[in-house]
């Protein structure tokens, strides 16, 4: 998932929209320039859970492997 980063201002609670890491960095830097010009950008970075790219595809692959193991175990005498 490409839109997996959001930055929160450490001074006022402003949040950038979910997006790429570089978009969030630019957004929070712009916010600090406008709202908190004498402070270095701070706050926290939020990472959207489940955005690792391993979703249903991984589940299917694990299911197939388990099925193959069951079949292999059942066919051995």
Q: What is the pLDDT of residues 6-65, one digit of tens each?
A: 999 999 989 999 999 999 999 999 999 999 999 988 899 998 876 555 666 778 888 888
Could you give the C-alpha distances from 24 to 2, 3, 36, 53, in angstroms and in order?
12, 10, 17, 20
- Separation of alpha carbons 42 and 27, rounded Å: 12
- Report the predicted TM-score, pTM, of the whole model to 2 decimal places: 0.60
Count the neighbouring beta carbons within 10 Å of the beta carbon of residue 33.
10
DSSP 49: T
DSSP 76: -
Banded model confidence at residue 75, pLDDT cuts 50, 70, 90: confident
What does the pLDDT read at residue 29? 94
Tokens of 44: 């926290």
């Amino acid at each position: 998932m490409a839109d997996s980063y959001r930055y929160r201002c450490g001074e006022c609670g402003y949040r950038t929209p979910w997006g790429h890491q570089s978009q969030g960095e630019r957004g929070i830097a712009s916010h600090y320039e406008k709202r908190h010009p004498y402070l270095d950008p701070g706050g926290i970075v939020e990472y959207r859970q489940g955005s690792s790219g391993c979703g249903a595809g991984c589940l299917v692959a694990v299911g197939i492997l388990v099925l193959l193991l069951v079949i292999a175990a059942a066919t051995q005498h």
